[in-house]
């Protein structure tokens, strides 16, 4: 059981916790719903209830029945039966639960009390940090704003119904809603099945290898297809990004747009294409968001189908932690945004210099700063310019190595790159250059 502070007992409800555990042993039908809503055993106040719930979850994960006998046996195997009060206490939970009809209300109470305890703990930490003036006040505010935001969105007391959720998924499959968002590159879309809402996509490459250009191609193609895109640039200004989009859409070299030295014909082309660009009001470009919290707030505001962040090494980190840990926390935060806001998140990343000889394909473990970039990504795409490392290869040939694909195949894809406009196109003759591998 959690300790009290200044003799004040933290909020909890023994009765609600006992009723939830008893209901899980009484009816197998409410188990999936309960485990989905109480994903973390620490939402229970009493340690013995945490242990019992964890044992039940292990049984559920192993597709085993949950009743007083199997739960007691599991606790015994885990060496925890005596700690929780023996089989007598487990059976007592079942006997003290009259029915399962109110289980969702009891779950709500358990979650609500847990939220209050988490707020108390956060308040204590905030008070201590407030007295420590070695950290800038705005940095503290930003840090705790994100923690409160994650707390409020990570623990919900909304009812969850397993059967209804399953029905929605099946209906979506029947309506072909399970298809992911298409990037406009047939070979990439075929191998990945499209980018799925809730997924985190990592796009990596060495310096000046066209990462931003490929991300802009993704964004432009998705926006033209009607998807809402939020592009957060931590390296280029909005003006520079708009010029990249105009270059991509018109074929006018990006350098000419930057310099302003345009011919009359080129200006007419921009005017003719202007209506198309202005109609892309579902494409939002921002260049002033450097923290995870500010990005999350913008996602909540704009509600995009796709969030693109260019790139992670330029994000602002909290002080006092090593870079690997900071990137790991940001990746967890971006994954949380993808899942909670039901959008695709594409994060760009550099590859460590000197990690691999330049003529070799980069690997996912070469991503700069942390192994969490590879671990957290559902799909990892790595860019490799063939001509730069092998003069026998035609200029403009770019290998997109799908180094990780959690739900599909991996392998190499060849794209054509036009450096003046930044436009990528599929190379139909050799787009599947290397043999495909199985699921990673």
Say if residue 226 is in the same domain as residue 114.
Answer: no
In angstroms, the CA 201 to CA 207 distance is 19
Confirm whether 165 is domain-assigned: no
Say if residue 364 is in the same domain as residue 409.
Answer: yes
In angstroms, the CA 343 to CA 354 distance is 34
- Which ranges of 342-381 would DSSP assign to H, the alpha helix? 372-376
In angstroms, the CA 362 to CA 354 distance is 10
Alpha-carbon radius of gyration of the chain: 26
User: What's the confidence (pLDDT) of residue 53?
Assistant: 96
Q: Three-state SS string across 236-272, please? A: CCHHHHHHHHHHHHHCCCHHHHHHCCCCHHHHHHHHH
User: What's the confidence (pLDDT) of residue 434?
Assistant: 38
User: What's the confidence (pLDDT) of residue 432?
Assistant: 41
Say if residue 382 is in the same domain as residue 275.
Answer: yes
CA distances to 1, 284, 366, 405 from 228, in Å: 47, 8, 31, 24
Q: Residues in the chain, how many? A: 440
Say if residue 190 is in the same domain as residue 338.
Answer: yes
Helix (H) or strand (E) holding 346: strand 344-350
Say if residue 333 is in the same domain as residue 396.
Answer: yes
Say if residue 280 is in the same domain as residue 329.
Answer: yes
Q: Which two tokens stand for residue 57?
A: 């979850």
- The CA dihedral of 404, 406, 409, 412, to the nearest 10 degrees, is -20
Say if residue 255 is in the same domain as residue 390.
Answer: yes
Confirm whether 5 is domain-assigned: no
In angstroms, the CA 89 to CA 52 distance is 10
Are 122 and 154 spatial neighbours (Cβ–Cβ below 8 Å)?
A: no
Q: Which two tokens stand for residue 112?
A: 């609500």
In angstroms, the CA 145 to CA 392 distance is 54
Splitting the chain (440 residues) into consecutive groups of 10 residues, what average pLDDT does each group show?
64 95 93 86 95 94 92 95 95 89 92 92 87 78 74 56 62 63 91 92 85 93 93 87 87 87 87 75 84 84 93 67 76 87 92 58 62 77 78 78 87 88 74 37
User: What long-range pairs does 321-325 form, CB within 8 A, spacing at least 24?
Assistant: 323/369, 323/370, 324/369, 324/370, 324/371, 324/372, 325/370
In angstroms, the CA 29 to CA 282 distance is 42
Sheet holding 379-385, edge to edge: 283-286, 229-233, 306-310, 344-350, 200-205, 379-385, 397-405, 411-418, 423-426
Confirm whether 214 is domain-assigned: yes
Confirm whether 303 is domain-assigned: yes
User: What's the confidence (pLDDT) of residue 384?
Assistant: 85
Say if residue 197 is in the same domain as residue 144.
Answer: no
Q: Which two tokens stand for residue 366?
A: 């070469």
User: What's the confidence (pLDDT) of residue 431?
Assistant: 44
In angstroms, the CA 134 to CA 140 distance is 10
Confirm whether 416 is domain-assigned: yes
Burial of residue 62, with CB atoms counted within 10 A of its CB: 0-12 exposed, 13-18 middle, 19 or more buried: exposed
Q: What is the residue range of 85's domain?
A: 14-154
Which positions ≥6 away from 348 have C-beta within 8 Å?
Answer: 203, 204, 211, 212, 215, 308, 309, 310, 311, 312
* Backbone phi and psi for residue 322, each to the nearest 5 degrees, phi listed first: -70, 160
Say if residue 293 is in the same domain as residue 205.
Answer: yes
Query: Total domain count for the chain?
Result: 2
Is 0.75 surpassed by the pTM of this model? Answer: no
In angstroms, the CA 145 to CA 294 distance is 10
Confirm whether 147 is domain-assigned: yes
For the chain, what is the largest distance between any 2 Cα atoms, rounded to a whole number of angstroms? Answer: 88
CATH number at residue 386: 3.40.50.300
């Amino acid at each position: 059981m959690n300790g009290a502070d200044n003799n004040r007992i933290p909020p909890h409800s023994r009765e609600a916790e006992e009723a939830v555990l008893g209901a899980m042993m009484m009816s197998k039908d409410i188990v999936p719903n309960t485990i989905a809503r109480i994903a973390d055993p620490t939402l229970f106040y009493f340690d013995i209830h945490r242990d019992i719930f964890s044992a039940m979850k292990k049984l559920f994960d192993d597709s085993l029945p949950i009743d007083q006998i199997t739960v007691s046996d599991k606790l015994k195997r885990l060496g925890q039966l005596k700690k929780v009060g023996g089989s007598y206490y487990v059976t007592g939970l079942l006997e003290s639960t009259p029915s399962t009809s109110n289980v969702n209300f009891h779950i709500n109470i358990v979650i609500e009390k847990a939220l209050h305890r988490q707020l108390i703990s956060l308040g204590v930490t905030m008070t201590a940090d407030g007295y420590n003036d070695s950290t800038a006040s705005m940095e503290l505010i930003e840090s705790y704003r994100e923690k409160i935001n994650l707390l409020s969105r990570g623990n919900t007391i909304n009812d969850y119904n397993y059967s209804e959720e399953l029905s929605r998924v099946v209906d979506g499959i029947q309506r072909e809603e399970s298809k992911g968002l298409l990037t406009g590159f047939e070979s990439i879309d075929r191998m990945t099945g499209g980018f799925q809402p809730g997924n985190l996509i990592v796009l990596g490459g060495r310096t000046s290898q066209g990462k931003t250009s490929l991300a802009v191609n993704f964004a432009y193609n998705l926006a033209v297809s009607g998807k809402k895109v939020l592009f957060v640039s931590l390296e280029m200004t909005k003006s520079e990004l708009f010029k990249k989009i105009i270059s991509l859409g018109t074929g006018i070299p990006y350098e000419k747009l930057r310099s302003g030295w345009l011919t009359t014909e080129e200006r007419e082309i921009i005017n003719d294409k202007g209506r198309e660009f202005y109609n892309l009001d579902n494409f939002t470009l921002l260049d002033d968001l450097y923290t995870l919290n500010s990005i999350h707030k913008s996602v909540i505001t704009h509600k995009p189908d796709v969030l693109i962040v260019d790139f992670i090494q330029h994000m602002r980190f909290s002080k006092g932690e090593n870079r690997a840990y900071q990137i790991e926390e940001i990746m967890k935060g971006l994954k949380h945004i993808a899942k909670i806001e039901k959008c695709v998140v594409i994060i760009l990343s550099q590859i460590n210099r000197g990690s691999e000889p330049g003529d070799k394909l980069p690997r996912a473990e070469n991503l700069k700063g942390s192994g969490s970039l590879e671990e957290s990504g559902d799909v990892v795409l790595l860019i490799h310019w063939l001509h730069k490392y092998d003069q026998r290869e035609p200029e403009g040939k770019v290998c997109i190595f799908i180094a990780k694909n959690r739900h599909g195949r991996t392998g190499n894809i060849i794209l054509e790159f036009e450096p003046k406009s930044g436009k990528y196109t599929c190379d139909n003759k050799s787009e599947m250059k290397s043999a495909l591998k199985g699921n990673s």
